[in-house]
Structure formats: structure tokens, C-alpha cells
Structure 1
Amino acid sequence: MARWIIWTTACLISVSSLLVIPLQSSAGESLDQMARSSLTQTAKETIAGSSAAKPLPDLRSETTLTASINNWRAVLAREAGFESWQSAVWSSFPLGPGTHGWGVILTDHGREVGYMIVHATENGSFRLTEYGTGDHPLFSLNTLYRSLVQQELIPATIPYSAFVQNETIQLNRLYMNALTAVWKVKIHNQAYYFDAKSGELLPLKEDPSPKLTNLPITESILKGPATTVQHPSFDPYDRLPWVQGTPLPLTQPKQLQDALGQSDKLTYVTELYDGQVTLPLAILGYQQWESGEAYLTLDHEGYRYVQLKDALTQGHVYR
């Protein structure tokens, strides 16, 4: 798992938790969807409640969202590294009040192989905010289960199937923006926060400040094949220019392309949760689509593709 540099702050705020579960799937269902299928109506009520404060745009129909996800899956499945997506099924879940977004986990023969994060746009279409491959997809209940056992917050004797059905453990997915994604877990009235990708226990005492305030304007149209630049991974802790060094002045995709041409060991660093956590990640390259969509490729418990412009806004790159 990724290592963290952590600064803790002392603040105690009691916040209620909300259990969020998958709502829809493609040809098959994930294990946690089947285990909690009886709670589907509760999840639907959650969506209805989340839209009360700020109405959703006209999303046309669930069919449109399903079609968008299926299209992205099919296009990505033709790219190197995404071969397991060709036969994968997917399940989706809402990301919580005010986000107008959904998470998607892809499963191939019972094994988690990737994820997508989707948000509604102003005109009622959808934007692919980020995606990734590997067996640690964003908001994986499998990863969370392992972390809770390792932190001795639940007994190791509790099997996974019993964990996903245990309604006394309250779960809430909190997605603020790319790289700010958190599991909030409430056990015996005590709240714990875990990174939604790595499963690391975070030093948070309250929910992160929401940052997703405006809907994206344009939809994501992936036209392939993509131009993919990929370098070998490395441990960002082997070299520490990001501790005292000066970040590269990168604001445009072309500048990142030039920097990757000069060095195959660039580190992306972002400060999270008001400076409580510094997260350094190896930059593996980027993926550029014919439509102009560009995603930065990071090594974060698997390949993580985040929109390049968002990443350059939220963090810095070091050589």
C-alpha cells in the first residue's frame, strides 16, 4: 500500500453516516450488490434525497447512463492493459449528496478488474472523471474489508459475506474530486476514514470539505485508439525531490509530454485534507484520446487515470 506523510489535527465533530450500495449493473451483479439487494429501495431514496438540495439536470434516462458506461467500457477494452474489460460486467452506485456522480466497479469472473467515476454534465450527458485498472478499484468493499481487519476494527473471523450484510457497520462513500475519495466507516458510534483506493486509515476527524460544486460542462467522448505513453513504475520514496525541491511549472498537456520525454521518473504530489496528508505517486505516463480527452496515468495501487487538467490543478510534478 502507498505510504503517507501525515499531519494530524485535533477536531472532534460528530457526523451521521449513510449506507450507499450499488444501484444498477450490466449483465451480472457484484458480490456486494447481491448481498445487499434487499436494500435497493433505501438507496433509491438516498438519490431522491440528494437531489432535493440541488436538482439534477435532465439525465434523459437511466438507459443513457448505462449506454455511456457500456460505450466507455468497450472503447477502453480495446486498449493495452484493459483486456479483462472485454468480458467484464459492472455495477454502479451513487457517490452521495451533491456530487451528481456515480462509481462503477468492473468484475471479470468474480474478480475486480477496474473502475470508473462518472459525473452528470450541465446538458444532461455524462463525463468520465477518472478510471483505472487492477484489483484495487476505487470504493472496493474488498479493499475496505481487508483494511478493517488489518486495523482490528472488525474480527478476522468475520467472513467477507457477513461483513457486507452487517448493517451495524455504517458505510458512506465520500467523493470530493479526483484523489480526494474516502470511505467513512462508523462502528459503535465511532467514525473512521479510509482512503477509497489504497484502504489506508486516514487521520481525519470529520468529513473532508466538499469541493464538487459545479457540474462539468462537456461530456466525455472517447475515440480510439488512444495515444498512450507509459513508463515503468518506481518508488517515489527512493528519490525525494518532492520534499524540498521545486515543482516543474506545468500547466498544459504539451508541457507534461515534454517533461516525460526528458525523464521517465516524474513524481506527482498532492496535498490532501487541508495539508494533513501528502500523497506522492509515480507518474506512469498519460492517455490521450482523439477527441482531446487527456488523462494522467498514476501508480496508485494499480493504474489510475485522472483527467490531466484536474490533476495539474490539484497537485505538482517533480523531476
Structure 2
Amino acid sequence: MKRIFHRRWHGIRRAAGIGTMCLLGLTTLSTSLQAEETLNLHETASDLLSFQLTNARNEASLRSETLAPASVQQFAHQQAMSLGSFEPSSQGWKEAELDFSPLGPGTHSWLVNAHIEGKFIGYMIITANRSGLLQLSEYGQGEQNPYNLSLLHQSLKRHNLNLEELSREVEIHLQYASPLLAYWKVEQSGAAAIYIDATNGDTLPNGVVKALEHDLREEQTRSSMLPVSVQLHSKIAESSTASSFSANPIHLQPVFDPADNLSWITSKAVPATGLQPLIQQWKKHQHIVFSADDRNVLYGGPLPVSGYQVWQKNNTSEEMEYVAIGGHSSVRRFVPLDTLIEDGHFYTFKP
């Protein structure tokens, strides 16, 4: 049985185009069944993998359009066009194939992996806000991506679990919690769930994540919104304004470990209301650390601020500012600067 299972597992990896260092669109049966559009995967999932980790890129059994509403796909392609607007090469975001995996249940978020001829070039996470509008919660360039299969494998080993030998009594879910927590939820029969940060492989405090999930359920119960699938289709016109943005070139800074020099802890927070104060600190050759204080566990932080990218609305002065966090011991993630300003502070130190 063990050898048969291994052949099936490696076959799925090959069909999915999954190397040892990246995960392209994996999602569980239970997550898929609670996606924003109805799926019929009962027989497919049991055929693919005995512990219910199903592969969204196996086009013979699952198609991307079953894993995200058409409006989400349209929005994702618009974002890809915007991201590709700064690229000097002929191959990039504009030519990429996009794969969708729902992150949930109940979060109304989707992981979008981009690749060209099997080569991973980046990812996006798209979320519907409380008004039903779609937004680009985060994205990444290059081969780094959250929900990395290698990170999951290493983290499970620390819990004495082998990814390739898990039984039917273990379910693995891709989850996302506001504002920026990407994580795996590992459920075992007769044991407490394990929560794993999908950006660095760290085990998350059980109580903190359970509280987040409880708050999400409470919010869903109180909410009088229309079903989000209806909201999404009714908001396409408003969300599609993203197509009028062009992404300017990326500006990267050296990555570092905030733990190597703790002088930032005693420094005053940079009074940042926008990107310019941070740029001024970089001009002074300062390193910048983002810290969400008691909420650092939700970011895997404190984290180095390792770059930025500005999106410019065509023919206007309107801008969207994204800042890169991580990149040393975690995935480099471009996230809205406004989100970070609302949730934490920036500190500096001279390297």
C-alpha cells in the first residue's frame, strides 16, 4: 500500500507541475466544496489523493473556472495585465496562465498562481471586501509563493507527520484571514488542529487562530449582505476599474533579519502616512522594520521592509502603493501600504 500511495502522489505532482519548491493550486475537498461556486468533486477527490488534498491544476478532473467565479477570474486577469505593464521582457504576467484555488471557507478569497510553460512567475491573493468589491490583497514576483509544499512538508515533519503518508483521517486546508494571514489548517481525527503559517512554515498559536475563525463565523452570522457570489457579479463594473492602472517598476532593498540588530526596538516609529517617508529613510541608507506589535503573529513578523511598487491610474494622479515585506526567512509579499499603516508601525536602524 505504501508504494502504491507514493506512485499516486508523485503522479499528481507531475501532472500538477509541482516541483520540490512550489505548490501550484492545491486545495482540499472540503475547501473546494465550500468555494464560491458549487463543485461536484466527491468521486474525483477520492481518486486523486487518499488524504483529501486535491489538485486544482489537474485539468482532466478539475478546471480553474470551477474554483473561482467568472468575475474573480476577470479581475485577476486585469491585475495580471497591470503587473505586466512595467515588464521589459516579452514574457511575463501578460502571457501567464492563471490557476485559481479558493481560500476559505467563508473568507471570499482566492489564491491565483501564475506560470508560463510550467515555470512559476508569481502569485496573487484576491479578496472580496465587505461591500463585495474585489481587491488585490497581496502579490509576489518570481518563484517565491505562499502555500509552499516544501514548507508544509518541513513543518509537518516537526509535528512527526509525513506529508506523503498521511491517512484519510487527516485533512489539509488552505486558509486566509484578514488582514494578511495565509495559513494551512491541518485537522486530525481525535487531535487538535495544527495551524501553519504558509509564508514561513512556523506553527501558529492554536488559540489565536481559533479566535480569528470564531470572529469570522460571527461576522458571517451577523452580516445581512447578499451572497458574495451575487455581490461579485453585481460589482464587476466597479472592480474592473483596476484595469486602468499600470504598475511602475519594482524598487527592491536588501533583505535582512530584524533579529540581527535590535536597535530598531528602541527607535521612534516613522510617522508614515504614505510611501515618501519610507523612501527618505532608504535614501539615508537605513533599514526599515515593520512590526504589528502584539499582532506580529498574524504577519510572521517583525519583518524587513524590502521594497515597494507604485501603481499609477492611467491619465490621472491617483496611485496605489504596495510595500514588500519579508524576503529573508519568509516569502517576499507585496501588500497595500495602507493595510500596514493601519495595523502596525515602521522602525529604522543603521545597518
How far does the alpha carbon of each residue in 1:271-297 deviate from its partner, in whole angstroms, 9 at most, with x for none? Answer: 355879871211122111112111111
Residue in 2 that maps onto 1:304 = 333
Residue in 2 that maps onto 1:238 = 260
8 Å contact kept, 2:265–2:347 = no
Residue in 2 that maps onto 1:71 = 78
Matched, 1:251 2:278: no
C-alpha separation between the residues in 1 aligned to 2:173 and 2:139? Answer: 20
C-alpha separation between the residues in 2 aligned to 1:311 and 1:81? Answer: 29
Residue in 1 that maps onto 2:343 = 314
Q: How far is 1:115 from its partner? A: 1.6
* One-letter amino acid of the structure 1 residue matched with residue 97 of structure 2: V
Where does 1:154-303 land on structure 2 (aligned, <5 Å)? 154-155=161-162, 159=164, 167-188=168-189, 189-205=191-207, 206-209=209-212, 219=239, 221=242, 223-226=245-248, 228-271=250-293, 279-291=301-313, 292-300=319-327, 301-303=330-332
Residue 302 to residue 273, structure 1, CA distance change in 2 (3 Å): closer
Q: How far is 1:312 from its partner? A: 1.2
Residue in 2 that maps onto 1:145 = 153
Matched, 1:91 2:112: no
Q: How far is 1:201 from its partner? A: 1.8
Note the residue ranges of structure 1 that are not aligned, 5 or more in a row.
1-27, 50-60
C-alpha separation between the residues in 2 aligned to 1:295 and 1:148? Answer: 32
C-alpha separation between the residues in 1 aligned to 2:111 and 2:118? Answer: 18
C-alpha separation between the residues in 1 aligned to 2:100 and 2:183? Answer: 17
How far does the alpha carbon of each residue in 1:66-101 deviate from its partner, in whole angstroms, 9 at most, with x for none? Answer: 122122223323445996545543322222243222
CA RMSD of aligned residues (A): 3.8
Q: How far is 1:126 from its partner? A: 1.9
C-alpha separation between the residues in 1 aligned to 2:276 and 2:124? Answer: 25
Note the residue ranges of structure 2 that are not aligned, 5 or more in a row.
1-14, 39-67, 314-318
* One-letter amino acid of the structure 1 residue matched with residue 339 of structure 2: D
Q: How far is 1:304 from its partner? A: 0.9
Residue 197 to residue 134, structure 1, CA distance change in 2 (3 Å): farther
SS in 1 for 2:301: strand
How far does the alpha carbon of each residue in 1:97-149 deviate from its partner, in whole angstroms, 9 at most, with x for none? Answer: 43222122234444544221112256654211111134441223443123213
TM-score (normalised: structure 1): 0.69
8 Å contact kept, 2:144–2:331 = yes
Matched, 1:106 2:120: no
Residue 306 to residue 45, structure 1, CA distance change in 2 (3 Å): closer
C-alpha separation between the residues in 2 aligned to 1:277 and 1:77? Answer: 27
Q: How far is 1:305 from its partner? A: 0.3
8 Å contact kept, 2:26–2:101 = no
More helix by share: 2
SS in 2 for 1:153: coil
How many residues of Structure 1 are paired with residues of Structure 2 in the alignment? 272
C-alpha separation between the residues in 2 aligned to 1:266 and 1:191? Answer: 35
* One-letter amino acid of the structure 1 residue matched with residue 242 of structure 2: I
Q: How far is 1:170 from its partner? A: 1.3
How far does the alpha carbon of each residue in 1:22-80 deviate from its partner, in whole angstroms, 9 at most, with x for none? Answer: xxxxxx9665789879x49x72445479xxxxxxxxxxx93222122122223323445
After the TM superposition, which of the residue ranges 172-181 and 302-311 deviates more from structure 2?
172-181
SS in 2 for 1:249: coil
SS in 2 for 1:312: helix
8 Å contact kept, 2:72–2:134 = yes
C-alpha separation between the residues in 2 aligned to 1:225 and 1:278? Answer: 27
Name which one, 1 or 2, has greater alpha-carbon Rg.
2
C-alpha separation between the residues in 2 aligned to 1:44 and 1:187? Answer: 19
SS in 2 for 1:282: strand
C-alpha separation between the residues in 1 aligned to 2:25 and 2:106? Answer: 26
* One-letter amino acid of the structure 1 residue matched with residue 205 of structure 2: P
8 Å contact kept, 1:136–1:143 = no
Q: How far is 1:248 from its partner? A: 1.6
Residue in 1 that maps onto 2:6 = none
Q: How far is 1:195 from its partner? A: 0.6
C-alpha separation between the residues in 1 aligned to 2:296 and 2:332? Answer: 25
Matched, 1:127 2:135: yes
After the TM superposition, which of the residue ranges 113-122 and 209-218 deviates more from structure 2?
209-218
* Greater relative CO, 1 or 2 (CA 8 Å, sep 6+): 1
Percent same amino acid among aligned pairs?
25
8 Å contact kept, 2:290–2:302 = yes
